């Protein structure tokens, strides 16, 4: 018997499977993939047959509206995403989450002034993409000696996700770190890559021969080949299973098969089938974890799809509750059915545990049942259905479906919950966009999650999940929509435009106004010609008004608008409402050395010169008037254009008694005569001078 042992972690990783599944969903024309989706010729050829075009650069295609571009798991430089945004393309970003984390680390450290160092293959598309997040300034090396020569004081070291863990550890070990430098080292090798390499090392030590299956250009497959060659003399690199000479494998009894993240499980199954065709012995596929015994659940698809390759699936020695078993119906009666388990004998199943109505025609039909009890052994078809339904949901989760989990507990590293019989673990770094410090507050709450990794074999059934990736995707979508709306908005306006807007909130300094979904600011000084202390004095929330655009700051995404500029000024109506000689009432609002300002109505002030307050001589207006006092005055002069009004209180007072004879009038002092002369000069200047065009209110403030 030839025993074929495959690695437990062989095959597509989550990121690769997601990308290929997304690509296979593309229909119609004008679907593009930027670079080969994986380094596997057979998979890429299948996608080409589906009409999906592989391009090397974004600039190679003149995209049209509605075209679709898929970014593969390797990721792309930042500039690629910028170009795609400007091309109005339907973008499907399948960058591996682990690669995205590296890109983020590089971008953040580069912005902080770190020298970026990438350990890996400089020509690998993942490394090229990562380098694009630090403006292609990274040192890309696989040499500890070259690393030690870097002169910068702040270093950030990352590593290609598919790089050899052993080589990386050796480089860091031999890296001569200057203690005066700041060095941040991130071991960003993918978890499955690490497991796959460790597994290849162990498997190659225990097998007579090893087949390393994968694309000719696959970096991770080449790493597995190098590891196996150190431990086994008979290592074969197979790119296309249909072209391999299986005759050379006849003499080996234990053969290991290792395949990387770019190799589909179908190629492994093709190897098994071809092996069965060249030997008369049974070919038994097993995983490393199970060695020579295969659980029925592990090989549930092997026999149905490859009958010629597997002559017999071994029956486990010991049944376990929850185990799925294939068995043949040997008899049917009114109470249920009897299943034949070969050497284990026959087991009766009650009708209440069956999904279907079986008849005598069903004899020799193979069905799947689940072990629900031991001693005695009990089987159930209904229990099987429940599990298969749960597994179908897990498959959807594995393919990227968002699922919801209630958090039941915490541990040192994150949050715990349960989903369809799987323990769900959410690392602290994957709970929110920032870092979650208080984990206890999430207990009892539901989180929306995406699976990052699913462990389904053996007793450990766990989903490592992330809510952060969902939040990042949603934020990117919102940001993209916002950016598009902003671009459209700023492209449609210019200074001086009159627009409709709705005040949505007030602040002490002004009103925020919604204009076509964009917040513009109307400063409080631009709301009223007469001034206001509160926006609510002029505007109402959620009511539409006309505004004028005063200033556009495209760089900072700010627009200043005005309301008062579209309203008449108070002085515009003065000529129609008031005439020289009219008697008006007003309130003293300000006293100055040369007179008093009287408010006739809001925004309309008049000056009562000190000489026009009383029939008597006044040295100071405060001797006769006080702020807030109501007075009557006669309009002497109106100049609406210059916003001036001269008033006289004295003109409404009774005349003083006739003056005494000249020879009896006391002589004026020189000081008093000078003051009276100065007052006359000030009044004439007020009437004749336009004061630089200043309004009365300006003069008040100026004084």
Residues annotated catalytic, as ranges: 126
Three-point CA angle 596, 601, 603, nearest 5°: 80
Under 8 Å CB-to-CB from 537, ≥6 apart: which residues? 528
Contact, 181 vs 132, CB < 8 A? no
Contact, 118 vs 150, CB < 8 A? no
Rounded CA separation 517/429 (Å): 34
Contact, 418 vs 424, CB < 8 A? yes
Under 8 Å CB-to-CB from 316, ≥6 apart: which residues? 293, 295, 296, 323
- Residue 4 phi/psi, 5-degree rounding, is -110, 125
Contact, 288 vs 199, CB < 8 A? yes
Contact, 568 vs 588, CB < 8 A? no
User: Tokens 């234990």, residue?
Assistant: 254
Rounded CA separation 237/114 (Å): 40
Rounded CA separation 211/7 (Å): 11
Contact, 192 vs 9, CB < 8 A? yes
The tokens for 368 are 């799947």
Contact, 596 vs 625, CB < 8 A? yes
Angle between helices 219-231 and 191-206 (to 10 degrees): 30
In 437-555, which ranges are continuous DSSP H helix? 468-490
Contact, 158 vs 102, CB < 8 A? yes
* Largest interatomic CA distance in the chain: 154
Alpha carbon 502 to chain centroid, angstroms: 30
- 3-state percent breakdown (helix, strand, coil) of the chain, nearest 5: 35, 30, 40
Rounded CA separation 310/471 (Å): 46
Long-range CB pairs of 618-622 (<8 Å, 24+ gap) are 619/675, 620/593, 621/591, 621/592, 621/593, 621/595, 621/596, 622/591
Rounded CA separation 41/577 (Å): 90
Per the DSSP assignment, residues forming a β-bridge with 348 are 338
Element (H, E) at 109: helix 97-111
Q: Is the dihedral of CA 618, 624, 630, 631 positive or negative?
A: negative
The tokens for 703 are 């004084």
């Amino acid at each position: 018997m030839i025993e074929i042992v495959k690695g437990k972690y062989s095959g597509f990783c989550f990121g690769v499977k997601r990308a290929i599944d997304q690509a296979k969903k593309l229909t119609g024309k004008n679907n593009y993939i930027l670079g080969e989706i994986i380094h596997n010729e057979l998979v890429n050829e299948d996608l080409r047959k589906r009409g999906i075009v592989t391009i090397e650069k974004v600039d190679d295609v003149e995209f049209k509206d509605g075209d679709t571009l898929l970014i593969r798991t390797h990721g792309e430089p930042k500039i690629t995403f910028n170009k795609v945004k400007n091309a109005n393309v339907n973008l499907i970003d399948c960058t591996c989450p682990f690669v995205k984390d590296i890109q983020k680390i590089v971008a953040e450290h580069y912005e902080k002034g770190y020298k970026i160092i990438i350990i890996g293959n400089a020509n690998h598309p993942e490394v090229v993409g990562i380098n694009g997040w630090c403006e292609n300034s990274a040192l890309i090396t696989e040499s500890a000696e070259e690393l030690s020569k870097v002169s910068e004081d702040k270093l950030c070291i990352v590593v290609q996700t598919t790089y050899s863990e052993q080589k990386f550890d050796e480089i860091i070990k031999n890296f001569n770190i200057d203690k005066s430098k700041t060095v941040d080292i991130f071991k960003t090798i993918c978890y499955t890559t690490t497991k796959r390499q460790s597994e290849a090392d162990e498997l190659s030590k225990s097998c007579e021969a090893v087949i390393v299956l994968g694309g000719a250009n696959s970096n991770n497959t080449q790493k597995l080949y190098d590891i196996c060659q150190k431990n086994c003399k008979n290592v074969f690199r197979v790119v296309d299973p249909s072209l391999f000479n299986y005759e050379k494998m006849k003499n080996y009894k234990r053969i290991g098969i290792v395949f990387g993240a770019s190799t589909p499980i179908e190629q492994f199954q093709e190897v098994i089938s071809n092996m069965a065709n060249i030997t008369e012995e049974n070919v038994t596929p097993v995983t490393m974890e199970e060695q020579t015994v295969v659980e029925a659940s592990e090989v549930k698809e092997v026999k149905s799809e490859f009958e010629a390759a597997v002559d017999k699936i071994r029956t486990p020695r010991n049944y376990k509750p929850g185990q799925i078993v294939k068995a043949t119906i040997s008899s049917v009666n009114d109470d249920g059915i009897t299943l034949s388990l070969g050497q284990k004998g026959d087991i009766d199943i009650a009708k209440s545990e069956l999904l279907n109505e079986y008849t005598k025609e069903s004899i020799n039909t193979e069905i799947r049942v689940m072990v629900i009890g031991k001693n005695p052994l009990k089987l159930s078809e209904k229990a099987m259905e429940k599990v298969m339904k749960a597994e179908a949901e897990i498959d959807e989760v594995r393919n990227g479906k968002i699922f919801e989990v209630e958090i039941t507990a915490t541990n040192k590293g994150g949050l715990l919950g349960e989903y369809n019989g799987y323990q769900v673990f959410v690392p602290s770094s994957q709970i929110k966009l920032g870092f979650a410090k208080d984990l206890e507050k999430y207990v009892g709450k539901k989180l929306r999650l995406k699976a990052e990794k699913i462990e389904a074999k053996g007793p450990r059934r766990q989903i490592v999940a992330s809510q952060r990736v969902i939040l990042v995707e949603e934020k990117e979508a919102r940001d993209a929509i916002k950016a598009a709306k902003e671009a459209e908005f700023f492209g449609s306006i210019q200074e001086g435009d009159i627009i409709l807007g709705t005040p949505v909130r007030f602040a002490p300094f002004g009103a925020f106004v919604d204009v076509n979904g964009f917040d513009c600011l109307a400063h409080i000084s631009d709301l009223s010609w007469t001034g206001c202390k509160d926006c609510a004095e002029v505007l109402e929330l959620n009511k539409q008004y006309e505004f004028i655009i005063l200033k556009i700051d495209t760089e900072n995404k700010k627009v200043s608008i005005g309301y008062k500029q579209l309203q008449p000024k108070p002085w515009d109506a003065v000529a129609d409402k008031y005439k020289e000689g009219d008697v008006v009432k007003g309130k003293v609002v300000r006293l100055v050395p040369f007179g008093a300002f009287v408010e006739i109505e809001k925004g309309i002030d008049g000056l009562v010169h000190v000489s026009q307050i009383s029939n008597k001589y006044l040295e100071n207006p405060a001797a006769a008037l006080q702020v807030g006092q109501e007075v009557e005055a006669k309009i002497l002069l109106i100049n609406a254009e210059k916003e001036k009004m001269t008033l006289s209180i004295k003109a409404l007072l009774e005349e003083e008694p006739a003056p005494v004879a000249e020879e009896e009038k006391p002589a004026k002092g020189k000081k008093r005569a000078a003051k009276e002369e100065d007052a006359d000069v000030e009044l004439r200047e007020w009437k004749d001078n336009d004061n630089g065009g200043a309004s009365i209110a300006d003069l008040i403030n100026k004084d």
